[in-house]
Amino acid sequence: MNKLQKSLQKLTRKERDLVESIFQKIKRGDFQGLTVKKLAGFGNIYRIRKQRIRIMYRTSPSGLIEIISLGYRDEKTYKKF
């Protein structure tokens, strides 16, 4: 089991459904309605904020999106990078 799956299991069912709908939007390339922000000091890392949940992802020059981190906002959220 990878980190992303473990993080998903820690969420409530309602939050998991929310995150899965966000993943579907990302997969389609539809960022409308999402709070996306580029992280300062990191060339290609972005975060999506939805309630207390933060989803960090990285983009490649070819347009591929890789989910890096998922979890609740706390003091350690952005220190991982």
What confidence tens digit (pLDDT) does each residue in 10-44 have?
Answer: 999 999 999 999 999 998 989 999 999 999 888 89
| Res 57: pLDDT | 93
Domain residues of the chain, as ranges?
Answer: 3-72
- As its CATH architecture, domain 3-72 has 2-Layer Sandwich (3.30)
Q: What is the pLDDT of residues 51-60, one digit of tens each?
A: 999 999 999 9
| Interatomic CA distance for residues 34 and 54, integer angstroms | 11
